[in-house]
A and B are shown apart, each in its own frame.
Chain A
Amino acid sequence: MLDKELRSMIGDVKDGRMDRRAFIKRMAAVGLTAPLANQILALGGVAMAEGAQTYKPTKRGGGGALKLLWWQGPTLLNPHFATGTKDQDGSRLFYEPLACWDPDGNMKLVLAAEIPSIQNGGLAADGKSVTWKLKPGVKWHDGKPFTADDVVFNWEYARDPATSALTIATHRDITVEKVDDLTVRILFNKPTPFWADAFVGAPNTIIPKHLFADYKGSKSREAPTNLSPVGTGPYKFVEFKPGDLVRGQLNPDYHMPNRPYFDTVEMKGGGDAVSAARAVIQTGEYDFGWNIQVEDDVLLRLEKGGKGKTIYAVGGDTEFIALNFTDPNVEVDGERSSMKTKHPLFSDPAVRKALSMLVDRESIKKAIYGRAGRTTANFLNGPEKFVSKNTSWEFSIEKASKLLDDAGWKPGADGIREKDGKKLKLLYQTSINGPRQKTQAIVKQACQKAGIDVELKSVVASVFFSSDVANPDTYAHFYADLEMFQIPLSQPDPAQHMRRYLSTNVATKENKWQGTNFPRWVNKDYDAAIEAAESEMDPVKRAAHYIKANDLMFQDTVFIPAQHRLKVEAAANNLRPIISGWANETDNLHDWYREE
């Protein structure tokens, strides 16, 4: 979209000639997601909309018990130590952020009194600071007031390397200062287009200073409140058994009117996804089941005449097949997949293109993901404002064969194509996981028809995703030609996600395979696009840079996106949960209720 046109549209919204919804729709049409469109408006001088309210109950409590089933139960309840979303989900029952994300990617106020915008002086025009006003009169569960000191403390706590908080990356490059008791300012050292990271969403909830001040730094693990949280949230802590159970009860002093609806909340852990779906959808023992990654036909069968249903939320999670740009079979200075090598087969772009045509995304959707998947040609599938419309995909064994024929890869005596003595034989690895292994089988079959021999390998998830330097089977070592998994997009912005593939971030022996660019793909134009995006304050130009970056990945076939995956949850028929594809499942828990 033209810059000028956008400016005039923002002007229209400002003057009330165009409504916000129409603007967001137009933005979506050019590939910008709702959260981004909203941030564009915020930076363009139009206040960010608060998410729509659908909450109906007119009094606090009286809703009975809310029974949640998390088949991987939380193992700790300090958001700064959360190793996975399950721990953030558990902590979020008691702790709160300044704001959270609704299903459309709009910001929703929690502990903040207003959403920072240029008009209200919250956002600096140069993008180097944001000022949050806090809601007055909020109390911790022990009765102490919540103030700016608590917010500043969270920053000090998390940025101290001795605390070993997992939220350190969010906090170490910013400065947080107290303006007055109910105002904090976050200073960035460079223009930051996506300012809603620290203190926003379930991963960045706020813990009380008065209970954690003595346990900052190396004493962090001794804090008794690590296991018995005292927060500001809708539910007060009752009991916690790691991996098994988290229990809470209604907070009578909660700062939002008529909330929460439920008198008690219980989060039960353990078991597996299929039986969790059964307990919610079929027998109704539980109200809500988390992350129901179960084959669609099983879910459809359970839903027949059941007591619950599945619900879906669109986010930006892409299941992809990554191509290795280095040679995994040659060892140079004690490492395979070394940057000093080139992949013998993939250095021919025709092979990469042909491979992309051999991934039958429609069949993968039909046979495996069902309602929980969408086909896509893009690596970056959200937020929508960042999604490229310039790409397309097709599945055609004939075209792939022709492409390979034209490039000189001729079938040998055994039916496997070869050129200059190099055979098209590939090793394709993934983590052990039903849907992934089925996807492998579908791809292998198509490749075989086109004369490519594919060997499948699957590695236990705890090894595949580990940072173990000595283990050659991790995704970062990438001692294979192809590998498949997904990297979740945990906030409605692609910055962190796309940054991984800068050429300075390649994974090598030298950096102990900590580099995030595991395909070892090097492209100067991509680097330039990402660098430009990261300092671009104009949201439209910024989105354009990310779209360009995605298109460069598409042109080079760095990733073959197998599926854009949706979040799948199970809920009782009468429960009204609010689930956002951009946030943790419990991020909007204060607005859940039951329809009588």
Chain B
Amino acid sequence: MSQYVLRRLLIAIPSLLGISVVLFVVLALAPGDPFSELATNPNVPPEVQAALRAKFGLDDPIYLRYLHWLNAMLHGDWGFSFVSRMNVDTLILQRLPATLYVIGSAQILALLVAIPVGVYAATKPYSLFDQIANTLAFVGFSLPTFFTGILFILIFSVTLDWLPFVYTTDIKGTGIHWVLEMIRQAIMPVAVLGLFQAASMTRFVRSAMLDVIRLDYVTTARAKGLGQAKVIVKHVMRNAMIPVVTLIALQMPAVFGGAIVTEQIFRIPGIGSLLISSILSNDTPVVMAVTFVFACLVVLFNLIADVLYGWLDPRISLR
């Protein structure tokens, strides 16, 4: 087992290197310039712009810039933002709590909705409950988050005036008041994101359950006289969860990556909004760091999923 994990980790190194080369080259070839805002500023002469480009090494050849970046990364230096003139890791760490809180809650909400609904719907396929759940799931994942987000704002903020739609990181007040405010302002973004993901996940859980529920060993379990609950939870769910675990594991990096659209709509200062504003201002070191961290997380969670398979189904051996 530990040998397996070690081998997987070693394999990850060349693939991460490959990913970093691709990311770096794509970003370097992308058009645009971090100092574009200066172009129409009559106070800034073009020579100053050129000097800045030279100072930040933007005029060096790509391979040299990549080697510089790699060397710095190996020393734990994530780079220096052109736009904010501060270290990229500080910038990312500042944005991490909001993303973990909002996107994490949304994922939990999605799981809490999807698993019970999916399982129950699968035990009674084509029943009224199943039909309703299916319809809602289709509606849910057909509506994009930018639409539901604005709809929620119009209903709950503008018309009813119940919830704020601008997320604030520094809520005044302490103790219970602070906690309540934190929850209040997260309700809309969490609901928008969580329900969107719950919709597709419900469908997934349902079909995974249906695949297993008709197998012979389930009939055997029932014939032994086991209760319905025990059959579903202990015998069916455990086996049905294998594909679901893959899906969830692949979605976990998104918790760190943030949700670009939802963060933008509700002004949540998360990684997603950092990524989009950095892309728009061509702040390459930040974009590079965020996407690379994201790539590392995808590799890591794939490994975790593989390890979890062994626990869920001992027949899968890891060598």
Contact = CB atoms under 8 A, between A and B. Distances in A.
Given A83-B38, A500-B42, A243 B165 contact: no
A359 B165 CA distance: 40
B274 A226 contact: no
A275 B42 contact: no
B36 A467 contact: yes
A239 interface: yes
Contacts of A584: none
A245 interface: yes
Given A243-B277, A285-B164, A467-B50, A475 B39 contact: yes
B43 A490 contact: yes
Interface stretch (A159-167, A349-357, A392-400, A571-579): A159-167
A76 B264 contact: no
A270 interface: yes
Interface string A468-498: 1001011110000000011111100000110
A468 B32 contact: yes
Contacts of A461: 36
Nearest to B94: A241
A247 interface: yes
A92 interface: no
Interface in A258-292: 266, 268-272, 275, 278-279, 282-283, 285-286
B111 to A, nearest CB: 28
Contacts of A76: 83-86
Nearest to B53: A467
A69 interface: yes
Interface in B34-52: 35-52
A466 B50 contact: no
Interface in B150-171: 153, 157-158, 161, 164-166, 168-170
A169 interface: yes
A244 interface: yes
Given A75-B83, A272-B264, A487-B40, A467 B166 contact: no
- Residue among B36, B52, B168 with most chain A CB within 10 A: B36
A152 to B, nearest CB: 21
Interface in A535-577: none
Interface in B13-35: 31-33, 35
A221 B80 contact: yes
Contact of B269 (A81, A244, A279): A244
Interface in A377-431: none
A463 interface: yes
Contacts of A512: 50
B166 A268 contact: yes
B84 A243 contact: yes
Nearest to B149: A275
Given A283-B158, A460-B32, A514-B50, A467 B41 contact: no
A203 interface: yes
A22 B31 CA distance: 53
B85 A81 contact: yes
B55 interface: yes
Interface residues of A, number: 66
B308 to A, nearest CB: 36
Nearest to A274: B150
A245 B86 contact: no
Contacts of B49: 467, 514
A252 B153 CA distance: 39
A277 to B, nearest CB: 12
A238 to B, nearest CB: 9
Contact of B37 (A69, A168, A203, A465): A465
Given A244-B269, A279-B165, A462 B280 contact: yes
B84 A283 contact: no
A293 B52 CA distance: 30
A243 B265 CA distance: 15
A283 B47 contact: no
Nearest to B46: A514
Interface string B244-288: 000000000000000000001101110001100100111000000
Contacts of B305: none
Contact of B265 (A75, A227, A271, A496): A271
A170 interface: yes
Contacts of B296: none
A463 B166 contact: no
Contacts of A145: none
A283 B85 contact: no
- Residue among A83, A170, A241, A487 with most chain B CB within 10 A: A83
B36 A283 contact: no
A478 to B, nearest CB: 13
B43 A203 contact: yes
Nearest to A162: B55
A227 B33 contact: no
Contact of B51 (A164, A221, A244, A268): A164
Interface string B130-149: 00000000000000000000
A242 B48 CA distance: 24
B41 A490 contact: yes
B280 A282 contact: no
Interface string B197-214: 000000000000000000
A62 interface: no
Contact of B33 (A245, A468, A485, A497): A468
B165 A462 contact: no
B91 interface: yes
Contact of B48 (A166, A282, A460, A486): A166
B32 A462 contact: yes
Contacts of A488: 40-42
A285 B165 contact: yes
B150 to A, nearest CB: 8
Nearest to B48: A168
A270 B264 contact: yes
Given A460-B32, A467-B50, A496-B42, A271 B264 contact: yes
A487 B42 contact: yes
B158 A243 contact: no
A431 to B, nearest CB: 10
A437 interface: no
A227 B91 CA distance: 12
A167 B43 contact: yes
12 contacts: A169-B44, A245-B168, A266-B170, A271-B267, A278-B165, A462-B33, A466-B36, A467-B38, A471-B32, A474-B39, A514-B50, A516-B46
Given A83-B35, A468-B32, A515-B46, 11 more contacts: A161-B51, A164-B55, A169-B48, A243-B84, A243-B269, A270-B277, A271-B265, A465-B39, A466-B35, A514-B46, A514-B49
Shortest 9 CB-CB distances between A and B: which pairs?
Answer: A466-B33, A514-B46, A244-B269, A466-B36, A465-B39, A496-B42, A270-B267, A465-B36, A462-B32
